[in-house]
A and B are shown apart, each in its own frame.
Chain A
Amino acid sequence: GAVVSQHPSRVICKSGTSVKIECRSLDFQATTMFWYRQFPKQSLMLMATSNEGSKATYEQGVEKDKFLINHASLTLSTLTVTSAHPEDSSFYICSARVGQTSYGYTFGSGTRLTVV
């Protein structure tokens, strides 16, 4: 089945530093990648939609200069959290739509970011 590999699974960084999260589609081409953030006991919140070869579309309230998204190829999308702060600590998940709608979306395994 379609697999999205997400790395790292956990990262702890200091305030003010940047962290890059990678999502790779292993056996299919992901023209569109969705990036979500999930705080404890809350639902998934869509941050942005990245399309291969073009600029990402950010949801209202998400700072595009803080959360840099690059989707340079059909198999790789990256999210970089710049100048991280403790309030950026969260669970970040990428997702790609697979084939026809009925197959749903496949998710990466998620990245637990802790900013200290």
Chain B
Amino acid sequence: GQNIDQPTEMTATEGAIVQINCTYQTSGFNGLFWYQQHAGEAPTFLSYNVLDGLEEKGRFSSFLSRSKGYSYLLLKELQMKDSASYLCAVMDSNYQLIWGAGTKLIIKP
């Protein structure tokens, strides 16, 4: 079956760095997405990785290792507004998105 695993919840301090991991087992791979979702709102696109390596975009970076079925989202200089759920999603061979359950990130002052 298809499976996406990510931690349920993480806590970090304002100004610090946090890494949210995602492991996946899917039928085929056409890229991995990270989305941010604030409570009661729709997800917003953060990043897309299809090749191995690190993609940096401002305070956020995303890494992919296809051989390990592994990705992480790195958030630097954390701000209170970064408190949200972070969803990992993989596009399978049928170009369908398979979603992880999301990681709730709590930022403390």
Task: Kindly state whether residue B31 has any CB partner on chain A within 8 Å.
Answer: yes
Dominant secondary structure at the B interface: loop
The stretch of A65-73, A74-82, A105-113 in contact with B is: A105-113
B45: contacting residue among A41, A46, A105, A110, CB under 8 A: A105
Task: Kindly state whether residue B99 has any CB partner on chain A within 8 Å.
Answer: yes
Task: Kindly state whether residue B87 has any CB partner on chain A within 8 Å.
Answer: yes
A109: contacting residue among B31, B42, B99, CB under 8 A: B42
Instruction: Please give, as numbers and ranges, the residues of chain B lying within 8 Å of A112 by CB-CB distance.
Output: 40
Least Cβ distance of B20 to chain A in Å? 14
Task: Kindly state whether residue A54 has any CB partner on chain B within 8 Å.
Answer: no
Least Cβ distance of B98 to chain A in Å? 9
Task: Kindly state whether residue B24 has any CB partner on chain A within 8 Å.
Answer: no
Task: Kindly state whether residue B84 has any CB partner on chain A within 8 Å.
Answer: no
Known interface pairs A43-B99, A44-B99. Does A101 touch B45 (Cβ–Cβ under 8 Å)?
no
B102: contacting residue among A43, A93, A101, A103, CB under 8 A: A43
Instruction: Please give, as numbers and ranges, the residues of chain A lying within 8 Å of B31 by CB-CB distance.
Output: 101-102
Task: Kindly state whether residue A42 has any CB partner on chain B within 8 Å.
Answer: yes
A102-B42 in contact (CB<8A):
no
B97: contacting residue among A6, A102, A105, A106, CB under 8 A: A105
Give me the interface of B with A, judged by CB distance under 8 Å.
Answer: 30-31, 33, 35, 40-45, 48, 50, 87, 91, 95-97, 99-102, 104
Give me the interface of A with B, judged by CB distance under 8 Å.
Answer: 6, 34, 41-46, 49, 91, 93, 101-110, 112
